[in-house]
A = this chain, B = another copy of it.
Amino acid sequence: MNMFEVTRQNFDSLFPKIEYAIENADFISIDTEFTGLYYDEHSKPSLFDNSAERYAKLRYSVQKFTLSQIGLTMFVRNAKDNCYSTQTYHFYLFPFPFGSYDPRFSVQTSSLEFLKKNSFDFNKWVKQGIPFLNNIQERNLTNEMAAGYLFSGLNNDDETELQSLCSKVAAWLPNSKVGDILTLSLPKGSESSYVYHTDLRMRFAHIWTSSNPFDQIVVEHVDKVKRQLLERENHSSHQEYQKQQIIQLLGFTRVFRLLQISQKPVVGHNLLMDLIFMYDKFHNPLPDSYAKFKQDIHKMFPSIFDTKHIHYCIKRFLESALLFTTGNLKELYDGINQNTTILAMLQPKIKHTESGDFPASFPHQAGYDSYMCGVVFLRLCHFLHFQESGSSHFKPCSFKDYLVTMKKFKNSVNLIRAMVSHIKLDGEEVLSLRPPLIFVQSTKAGTRLISQQLAAWFSMYGQVDIQMMNSREAIVAATNFHCAREIISAFRQHPLIKVSKYRFWEHSKLGQRILWGSLAIATVSGLVLLYNA
């Protein structure tokens, strides 16, 4: 399998090709890699989280971290030979500082460890990553460029360099006459002389600057009239130059805007975090309001599919067709590729249209993951379509036919380790299917419960999360009914703790207070829903 690796070096030349591929795609699959998962213990996913709480946690972390890779695979069907052509683009992303724009981002050590294990190239990331801006950053930079205040954000080293250029001009100017020329070397490693030209011109009213072929700045002593003339002459080319600079700095955001405009179906695997990252880094700072986030994302991408959610829903169905896999993308991809019997009939072929220049196909490289995800989606579409239509339609079907079949999964995005299994981007919040909470009490006098000890005991039976109520009582959320039943049964006779189903009325202080207190029924029923849903 081949794909295009996209870096700062070839981004501009590949851009028209990417644009064409997006415009012509039937659907586009996406994967991202990032510098961290959760910023602190409070933002760690927990089985106690509902959708809005999860959004708040993810928002907090995403604001700290950044995207390091994004993979896009464009799938387009050729009806003649019932074949999907694909193009995969594997982008390295790294924010590029410019003037006062000097973003800070966080890194979670274990996430870099994870990338490292999956052959991530950190030199390529920092040295060749494509920049990006969200709308606010773009606006601020545009304004600052227009005002000419870029240097104020320079770091100390660059400012010292600029300072030194200015001193040279300041020393030379009074001792020179109109028409004299001063040639200045640019500081080593400067990627753009733009800031220097802009700043020198703004500070000295009687000079004009230009570049020579040796990448030096040529300063000419000019009179007021010539200066005004040159400014007028250069006004449009100056503006053009500013526009070009912004386009360079926008980088991947330009691709993101194409995706938005295209309104094509977007497919990802467990892609909530990807969506939140893309919103924050390419669109706008994440809103406080979860509802606003859902609305905006739905407007940007009106047709989203999450293969992890689809697998979760049809797991039993796939098993009945002898396809056993976990929700892990690589396992799902391998399982589907090995299982030729159930999925074979009239299955479309999938191929790469052109050989690219990227030989690696490692899982957890964003490009390859986006490809695997798109393939899995197509296979699941086909499987479900022919299951539902009862195999009576003996002609190959279009992608639109698939979309009709998959409608029930549209805009449902998987949630890991939460109170609910998924988020509905275009509808009401879903109800929890998790088992009731478990209540734990210390039964031995003087014994305090330790959250880690409880986790160690219970997690043997499945994923659990613990919330301490006080030093002798805790609530446990378990991932499924089986796990909850096992825990209650296994610890029935335990010498140190008593486990039981959590009963709000009996076990919570609030419940007790309500039961004996005087709150209105309306409020109470709301709380019951909250705790027993």
User: A residues engaging B (CB < 8 A)?
Assistant: 36-37, 39-40, 45, 64, 94-97, 102-117, 121-123, 125-127, 147-149, 151-152, 155-159, 163, 166-167, 170, 188-189, 199, 202-204, 416-417, 451-453, 455-457, 459-463
* A451 and chain B: residue at smallest CB distance: B152
* A106 and B105 contact, Cβ closer than 8 Å, known pairs A45-B156, A166-B459, A416-B156: yes
Of B116, B156, B460, the contact of A37 (CB 8 Å cutoff) = B156
Residues of B within 8 A of A159 (CB): 463
Of B40, B104, B167, the contact of A39 (CB 8 Å cutoff) = B104
Q: Mostly helix, strand, loop or mixed at chain A's interface?
A: helix
* A104 and B108 contact, Cβ closer than 8 Å, known pairs A149-B456, A456-B202: yes
Q: Are B109 and A452 in contact (CB under 8 A)?
A: no
Q: Are B125 and A109 in contact (CB under 8 A)?
A: no
Q: Are A116 and B127 in contact (CB under 8 A)?
A: yes
7 pairs of A and B residues whose beta carbons are closest in the complex: A149-B452, A122-B122, A117-B189, A97-B110, A97-B109, A152-B452, A102-B110
* A114 and chain B: residue at smallest CB distance: B157
A461 CA to B102 CA, complexed, in Å: 26
Q: Are A102 and B108 in contact (CB under 8 A)?
A: yes
Residues of B within 8 A of A116 (CB): 126-127
A530 to chain B, nearest CB (A): 25
A517 to chain B, nearest CB (A): 37
A331 to chain B, nearest CB (A): 12
Among A115, A122, A199, A416, the one with the most B-chain Cβ atoms within 10 Å of its Cβ is A122
A322 CA to B122 CA, complexed, in Å: 45
Chain A to chain B contacts (Cβ below 8 Å), 19 pairs? A37-B155, A64-B104, A96-B113, A103-B109, A105-B106, A107-B107, A111-B155, A114-B157, A117-B189, A122-B123, A122-B126, A148-B456, A149-B456, A151-B459, A152-B455, A152-B456, A166-B460, A203-B459, A204-B460
* A113 and B125 contact, Cβ closer than 8 Å, known pairs A39-B104, A163-B462: no
Q: Are B108 and A107 in contact (CB under 8 A)?
A: no
Among A37, A109, A115, A116, the one with the most B-chain Cβ atoms within 10 Å of its Cβ is A109
Of B122, B204, B456, the contact of A199 (CB 8 Å cutoff) = B456
Residues of B within 8 A of A452 (CB): 147, 149, 152
Q: Are B110 and A107 in contact (CB under 8 A)?
A: no
Residues of B within 8 A of A155 (CB): 37, 110-111, 114
A166 CA to B147 CA, complexed, in Å: 62
A524 to chain B, nearest CB (A): 35
Among A96, A108, A452, A463, the one with the most B-chain Cβ atoms within 10 Å of its Cβ is A452
Residues of B within 8 A of A148 (CB): 456
Of B107, B113, B147, the contact of A106 (CB 8 Å cutoff) = B107
A310 CA to B438 CA, complexed, in Å: 67
A36 CA to B103 CA, complexed, in Å: 11
Residues of B within 8 A of A111 (CB): 155
Q: Are B108 and A459 in contact (CB under 8 A)?
A: no
A148 CA to B64 CA, complexed, in Å: 31
Of B126, B147, B451, the contact of A112 (CB 8 Å cutoff) = B126
A110 CA to B157 CA, complexed, in Å: 10
A262 to chain B, nearest CB (A): 30
Residues of B within 8 A of A457 (CB): 203
Known: A116-B127, A122-B122, A152-B451. 7 other contacts (CB 8 A): A104-B107, A105-B109, A117-B189, A122-B125, A149-B453, A156-B417, A170-B460
* A463 and chain B: residue at smallest CB distance: B163
Residues of B within 8 A of A39 (CB): 104
Q: Are B456 and A203 in contact (CB under 8 A)?
A: yes
* A104 and B114 contact, Cβ closer than 8 Å, known pairs A155-B37, A460-B203: no
Q: Are B105 and A456 in contact (CB under 8 A)?
A: no
